[in-house]
Amino acid sequence: MEQLISGVAKFQKEVFPTKKARFSELAEGQSPEVLFITCADSRIDPNLVTQTEPGELFICRNAGNVVPPHSSQTGGMTASIEFAVAGLGVSHIVVCGHTDCGAMKGAIEPEKLESLPHVKEWLGHCRSATEVVRDRHGALCKDHLDEVTCENVIQQMQHLRTHPSVASGLANGRITLHGWVYNIGSGEVLCFDEQAREFKPMDERYRAMFGELADSMADKVCG
C-alpha cells in the first residue's frame, strides 16, 4: 500500500498538473471510441499496451475476458456493454486475451476448481472454446493453452453478437469487432483476421486490412 499512496502523491504533484486541461474536459463527461474487454490479470495494462490516455478507452475487465451471452438476467458485463454501445456510442469493441492466462488454465482443467465454485461457474462461459479445441484434437490438455486462449477470444466475440445493442450496431455499420491476444513476454499483439480465420501479428498488413474494412463500412452506411 505504501507504493500506492506514494503513487497518488506523485500523480497529484507531478502528473496531474501537466494534463490539467485534459482532466478539466474529462470532468464534464466522456466520449471513448473503444470498448476494451480484457482479463483482470494484474500483468495486463490496456492503456500501457495501447498507449492511450484517460478517456480514450472504456475498459471492462474480468477473469478470462469473458462476455456472457445476452440473457434477461442483468449482470455487470451486460450492463457495461449496453452502456458503452448504446449510451456512449463506441464504434469499436476489442476483446483481448493474453498468454499464460490462469482463467484459460482453469477452463482446460475445471476439475481443479472445486474449491473455487464461483470461478468454475464463471468459466463455464469459456466452454465453447475448450470444446472447439477438444474436438479439433480429440482431447484437451494444458499443452493447448495458447490455442484455447485464441479460440476463447473468438467465442467471446460471438457472445458479443448476441447483445441487442451490439447486433444493431454491427448490422448498421456503426461498430467493428476486434479480437486480440497480447503476449506478455514479448509485447506482441496478435489480431484475429476474420477472412483468414486466424490470428496474425499486428503490423502494416493488419492496419491495411482495417483501413479496407473501414472504407467498406462507410460505403455500406452511405449507400
Here the CATH number for the domain that contains residue 45 is 3.40.1050.10
Top pLDDT among 110 and 220 is at 110
Distance CA 95, CA 4 (A): 28
| Spatial contact of 173 and 217, defined as CB atoms under 8 Å apart | yes
207 pLDDT band, cuts 50/70/90, is low
In a domain, 92, yes or no: yes
In a domain, 98, yes or no: yes
Q: Which domain holds residue 97?
A: 31-222
Give the pLDDT of residue 211. Answer: 57
In a domain, 129, yes or no: yes
User: pLDDT tens, 31-75?
Assistant: 999 999 999 999 999 999 999 999 999 999 999 999 999 988 888
In a domain, 19, yes or no: no
pTM exceeds 0.85: yes
In a domain, 14, yes or no: no
Q: Residue 144 above 60 pLDDT?
A: yes
User: pLDDT tens, 81-112?
Assistant: 999 999 999 999 999 999 999 999 999 999 99
In a domain, 25, yes or no: no
User: pLDDT tens, 183-196?
Assistant: 999 999 999 998 88
- Give the total number of structural domains in the chain: 1
Give the pLDDT of residue 164. Answer: 97
Where are the strands (E) in the chain, listed by range? 34-39, 57-62, 92-98, 176-182, 189-193, 198-201
Distance CA 149, CA 96 (A): 10
- In this structure, how many other beta carbons lie within 10 angstroms of the beta carbon of residue 126? 26
